[in-house]
Amino acid sequence: MADVNRGNRPLSPHLQVYRLPLAAVTSIMTRITGHALVAGIVLIVWWLVAAVSSGGAFAVADWVVRSWLGFIILTGSMWALWFHLLAGVRHLLYDAGHLLGIKESERASQVLIVGSVVLALLTLVIFFMF
C-alpha cells in the first residue's frame, strides 16, 4: 500500500462538521417513533388485559394509565403515531416520484414536523373537550 499521510485531514465528515439534512433527521425520527409506539401499545394492552382479569389488577393498571407518567407515555405515543403516519404518507409520495428535489424534500420534512404537532394538539383538545 502506498505511504499516504492521512494525519492532516479527517477520513470522513463527522457530526461536528457535517449537519444532517432535515429529511435525514425526520427519516431517523420515523424509525425512532416506530419503536417508541411500542411503549403506548404495551400500556394500553396491559390496561385492557387487567380490565378482563380482576378488579384489583384493573385498579392498578388504571391508576398507572391515569397518572402523569401514563399521560406522558400516551401523549408521546399519540404524537409518535401522527408523526409516523405523516412520514408514511411522505414516503408514499417519494415512491411515486414526488418531492424528490432538495427544496421539496426540505419543505415536506417541515410540513411533517409541524403537521404532527398540530394534529397531536388538536387530538388533545378534542379529547379534553368531550
Contact (CB, 8 A) for 64 and 39: no
End-to-end CA distance of the chain: 72
Q: What does each C-alpha distance from 63 to 57, 58, 72 come to in angstroms?
A: 10, 8, 14
Contact (CB, 8 A) for 74 and 65: yes
Q: Is 35 marked as binding a ligand?
A: no
Residue 52 is placed in which grid cell?
Answer: 378482563
Q: Residues at the annotated binding site?
A: 84
Residues making up the annotated binding site for heme are 84
